[in-house]
Amino acid sequence: GPATREANPSATAADRPIGFGRIQRKEDPRFVRGKGRYLDDIVLPGMLHGAILRSPMAHGRIVSIDTTEALAHPKVHAVVTGKDLEALNLAWAPTLSADVQAVLATDKVRFQGQEVAFVVAEDRYAARDALELIDVEYEQLTPVVDARTALAPGAPVVRDEMEGRTDNHVFDWEAGDAAATDAVFARADVVVTQEVVYPRVHPAPMETCGAIADYDAVDGKLTLYETTQAPHAHRTLFAIVAGIPEHKIRVVSPDIGGGFGNKVGIYPGYILAVVGSIVTGRPVKWVEDRSENLMSTSFARDYIMTGEIAATREGKILAVRTNVLADHGAFNATAQPTKYPAGFFHIFTGSYDLEAAHCTVTGVYTNKAPGGVAYACSFRVTEAVYLVERMVDLLADELGMDPAELRLRNFIRPEQFPYPNKTGWEYDSGDYEPTMRLAMRMAGYDELRREQAEKRARGELMGIGISFFTETVGAGPRKHMDIVGLGMADGAEVRVHPTGKAVVRLSVQSQGQGHETTFAQIVAEELGIPPEDIDVVHGDTDQTPFGLGTYGSRSTPVSGAAVALAARKVREKAKLIAAAMLEARPEDLEWEKGRWFVTGDPTQGRTMPEISMAAHGTIELPEGVDGNLDAEVTYDPPNLTFPFGAYICVVDVDPGTGHVTVRRFVAVDDCGTRINPMIIEGQVHGGLADGVGMALMELIDFDEDGNCLGGSFMDYLIPTAMEVPDWETGHTVTPSPHHPIGAKGIGESATVGSPPAVVNAVIDALEPYGVRHMDMPCTPARVWAAMQGRATPP
């Protein structure tokens, strides 16, 4: 491979860094031994099992539900229907987007797979058997399947239960300056327009969603084990929805087998487990199966985008403009800050210095599953990056320019940061050209173009695709960003025990990305305590400070900052205690990792363990200093962080079958200060595989009756080691100026940045066939159709 490929040595104990660096993951000894404790590993005494009866059709009126036979099943303890929930005022629950969602359908079913009844039984098998004994009579209705026809006059109304509702309109939203953008477009030499579809996909984590509810009727306390990425937010919402006092709810998020945004929302199954436990007086476990996961929880994307890009003949990009039609399914349950119904889509100005930009987004209801989660994406950044990176490639094609050259000419320049873009963001820091040049060097870009020309002459189809992305992650300043009224800040608490070992408690939640290691490394870096001596506690609302949780790559930008600042508070307190111990003035002390010493006399110093023992010991503490070495911080970020990267993908397309092989993939990422390079590489590898999957294989599709065609891994294809190449990763480091340690997020960069690189490569390969654009996924059938000049098949 190329010389720039990053080595992957694991540090030995001797050279293990105290702080940032490549150390092995503290959580892996339990994971690689199969000793992780996931939701389904938890078995409580007397626990019952729940199963959900789901709608077989996309749209239908419920005529009657007969549960008599199911209730007569010897192992069944309870059967709950929408009518029962109505009596408890729980049939509908608020969503994260100020809409409501049916917990169990009462009037109509609005998507295939919707929750209709809940059975609680002795075991999982009996619960499933009893579902078949429930008799539901439906009157089938015409569904709204195509978002493009959802607003047509006379379209069936999905949400006819809402007072005065006569259409399927959810919201209109816009960003940027329409008039200024129109003016720039009017005087541009070149305008390129293209409809670009980001189809419906699904996060599909290895572990599906589930919950165990344990309601204690004696003390009124609810313990809820959940696969959740946001335990504290869930607890508050449960308190509000179920009317259980918040201090009587404990949410425990155990080890999580992948989240990818799928475990942000509160699903009917979670609420039903709670109802089941209250009704039966026993703990109730509910775990969805793969098809339930794919059909009913949290789809992502589903944006139909009409993009326009304006430029001069010489290749100066002037402006971008887009109209988006967003399919939100039957209930508006997307997760994003309240102010932004289209999430952070308005970062679609990309990495380019533009004169103007404008976007409008219209949301519609259809008879499909609700969700619209930020699947490996900071609230629609993925759609935005895909759109702009496709449009730039289309422009390059129109101008007859090399796509790398066009990007290099239009980047925001380093001296322009902090850069206010035309839709209201302030990019914190960036230096794009070196990142792009490194990727081109690693790929051997010019050599690749020569190889491509030779192959084309022989009739072989080779494509080179580029994407350069800028994300906005780490929501958010709380004055601008909230989710259902909860400001987007996060807490952290650091305690140093008398013997100098420490514990750090987090409000955020790992789903596999290694927080137990990296957050220990942040404390280690700040206090000089070895990471193995720092315990990271998360995933239990009784044990951790309040905060909004993990998604949108916000843990490092927000919680990571909270941890660094809490550790710095501890360090300052340690200074006062060390001064007392040394009989020196605090201002005469200097810090080196793990120790305060007297300026000019390094022999006069005290180490952290000495100081922590003294803090809890018998020496007289300075005025105002209490006897511990603890600190707590709730961090409100002043801005988001803006990671970026340059990706180059090389594909070969089989001219006989349309099959695409990703031969090489070069990814150069810049996430500012790097805490653990090994974990970062792992994050990038995972995201790249994810992106190849979306670009080539993954699709949640529907037939004209609204039947979901992606309800199993037989139909919803996700990539394996067979479909992905040996990744070639590199990095540059442009720290965030406002983050205490200069770190930006990395968790989603590769999923965001890679689909356009792959699709651009496929389209580049098809150039001899005159193909300008095709929509994802680039399956053999679709590539073949594009080669024949036919429209994309369904």
Binding stretches for ligand PCD (CB under 6 A): 205, 229, 258-261, 374-377, 511-515, 518, 550-556, 671-676, 679-680, 683, 686, 743-748
Judged by beta carbon, residue 114 or residue 553, the one nearer ligand PCD is 553
Whole-number minimum distance, CB 296 to ligand PCD, in Å? 17
Judged by beta carbon, residue 308 or residue 748, the one nearer ligand PCD is 748
Judged by beta carbon, residue 522 or residue 696, the one nearer ligand PCD is 522
Whole-number minimum distance, CB 277 to ligand PCD, in Å? 27
Sequence-ordered list of residues with C-beta below 8 angstroms from that of 400, at least 6 positions apart, any chain: none
Q: Report how far residue 74's alpha carbon sits from residue 490's, in angstroms, rounded to the nearest whole number.
A: 48
Whole-number minimum distance, CB 261 to ligand PCD, in Å? 3
Nearest CA to 411 among 315, 322, 321, 345? 315
Judged by beta carbon, residue 317 or residue 561, the one nearer ligand PCD is 561
Judged by beta carbon, residue 188 or residue 671, the one nearer ligand PCD is 671
Whole-number minimum distance, CB 202 to ligand PCD, in Å? 11
Q: Report how far residue 247's alpha carbon sits from residue 501's, in angstroms, rounded to the nearest whole number.
A: 30
Q: What is the DSSP letter of 54?
A: E
Judged by beta carbon, residue 22 or residue 282, the one nearer ligand PCD is 22
Token digits of residue 100 = 């409501």
| Cis bond before residue 719 (omega within 30° of 0) | no
Whole-number minimum distance, CB 312 to ligand PCD, in Å? 37
Whole-number minimum distance, CB 660 to ligand PCD, in Å? 25
Whole-number minimum distance, CB 695 to ligand PCD, in Å? 17
The residue whose two tokens read 């006059």 is: 153
Whole-number minimum distance, CB 515 to ligand PCD, in Å? 5
Q: Report how far residue 612's alpha carbon sits from residue 500's, in angstroms, rounded to the nearest whole number.
A: 6
Whole-number minimum distance, CB 361 to ligand PCD, in Å? 19
Judged by beta carbon, residue 277 or residue 511, the one nearer ligand PCD is 511
Whole-number minimum distance, CB 164 to ligand PCD, in Å? 35
Judged by beta carbon, residue 567 or residue 629, the one nearer ligand PCD is 567
Sequence-ordered list of residues with C-beta below 8 angstroms from that of 247, at least 6 positions apart, any chain: none
Judged by beta carbon, residue 55 or residue 555, the one nearer ligand PCD is 555
Q: Report how far residue 211's alpha carbon sits from residue 530's, in angstroms, rounded to the nearest whole number.
A: 36
Judged by beta carbon, residue 106 or residue 511, the one nearer ligand PCD is 511
Q: Report how far residue 771's alpha carbon sits from residue 764's, in angstroms, rounded to the nearest whole number.
A: 8
Whole-number minimum distance, CB 381 to ligand PCD, in Å? 9
Q: Report how far residue 240's alpha carbon sits from residue 244's, in angstroms, rounded to the nearest whole number.
A: 7
End-to-end CA distance of the chain: 39
Sequence-ordered list of residues with C-beta below 8 angstroms from that of 184, at least 6 positions apart, any chain: 310, 318, 319, 355, 356
Token digits of residue 124 = 């999982």
Q: Report how far residue 288's alpha carbon sits from residue 306's, in angstroms, rounded to the nearest whole number.
A: 36
Q: What is the DSSP letter of 673?
A: S
Q: What is the CA radius of gyration of the chain?
A: 27
Helices and strands in the chain: count of H runs, count of E runs: 18, 32
Token digits of residue 35 = 């000793």
Judged by beta carbon, residue 176 or residue 210, the one nearer ligand PCD is 210
Whole-number minimum distance, CB 376 to ligand PCD, in Å? 4
Judged by beta carbon, residue 208 or residue 367, the one nearer ligand PCD is 208
Nearest CA to 733 among 684, 675, 679, 649? 675
**DSSP secondary structure, 718-744, as one string:** ---GGGS---EEEE-----TTSTT-B-
Token digits of residue 567 = 């550790």
Q: Report how far residue 495's alpha carbon sits from residue 176's, in angstroms, rounded to the nearest whole number.
A: 46
Whole-number minimum distance, CB 439 to ligand PCD, in Å? 19
Element (H, E) at 300: strand 300-311
Judged by beta carbon, residue 363 or residue 672, the one nearer ligand PCD is 672
SS3 content of the chain, % helix, strand, coil (to 5): 30, 25, 45
In sequence order, the β-bridge partners of residue 49 are 121, 285
